[in-house]
């Protein structure tokens, strides 16, 4: 077993204590640098940084960042939800480490959707109904995963389906 334990730290924003925004940080007892490219290969990280190595995943709308000595999870309902995710990730880390002989390590993140391709699928009227000044600004937000097809009211059902299909290639949830 590579990762044996961790110390938890819970961060709550003082300004909005009622918001769904508890952050869970697990300070790891072991250095997991070597497993990070294997974990990236198994779970399909959307962002991989080489130096120092870290990988980020989006799982059920949560952002999980795995560093050599730390795992961070954001936007949680409560501490229990964070504990569940960290326990799951600990299992994945140890499984990937055990099976590293069979796994091809991956040193880059998943391909990302292109802003220009998203823009092509929008009405391009800059109407502002989405709350953004232009379709281009909206397309950037879609590319980053913050907005989706449903957030552009004038987009037809067919257009929404096309945009969903395009984003689906990149495992957006
Ligand atoms: S609502 Fe749609 S069409 Fe209007 S500005 Fe936003 S992205 Fe463009």
State whether 77 and 128 are in the same domain: no
State whether 141 and 78 are in the same domain: no
* pLDDT of res. 58: 84
Q: Among 46, 69, 98, where does a domain finish?
A: 98
173 versus 119: which is more confidently predicted? 119
Tokens of 78: 């409560």
C-alpha 158 – ligand 1 centre gap (Å): 15
Given ligand 1 and candidates 129, 147, 153, which is best to mutate, with the most ligand atoms within 8 Å of its CB? 129
* pLDDT of res. 75: 82
Domain count for the chain: 2
> What's the length of the chain?
173
| Domain of residue 159, residue span | 115-168
Task: Tell me the C-alpha distance between 124 and 83, whole Å.
Answer: 43
Residue 47 φ/ψ, nearest 5 degrees: -140, 130
C-alpha 122 – ligand 1 centre gap (Å): 7
Task: Tell me the C-alpha distance between 55 and 95, whole Å.
Answer: 17
Q: Among 71, 98, 125, where does a domain finish?
A: 98
State whether 53 and 127 are in the same domain: no
pTM: 0.67
State whether 127 and 68 are in the same domain: no
* pLDDT of res. 17: 57
């Amino acid at each position: 077993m590579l990762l044996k334990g961790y110390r938890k730290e819970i961060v709550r924003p003082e300004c909005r204590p009622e918001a769904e925004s508890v952050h869970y940080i697990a300070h790891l007892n072991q250095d997991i640098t070597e497993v990070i490219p294997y974990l990236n290969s198994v779970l399909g990280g959307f962002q991989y940084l080489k130096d120092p190595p870290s990988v980020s995943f989006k799982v059920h709308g949560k952002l999980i960042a795995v560093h050599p000595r730390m795992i961070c999870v954001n936007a949680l309902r409560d501490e229990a939800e964070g504990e569940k995710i960290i326990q799951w990730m600990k299992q994945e880390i140890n499984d990937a480490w055990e099976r590293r002989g069979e796994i091809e390590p991956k040193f880059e993140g998943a391909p990302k959707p292109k802003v220009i391709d998203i823009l092509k699928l929008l009405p391009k009227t800059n109407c502002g109904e989405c709350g953004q000044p232009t379709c281009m600004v909206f397309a950037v937000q879609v590319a980053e995963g913050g907005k989706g097809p449903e957030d552009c009211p004038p987009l037809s059902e067919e257009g929404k389906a096309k945009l969903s299909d395009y984003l689906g290639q990149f495992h957006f949830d």
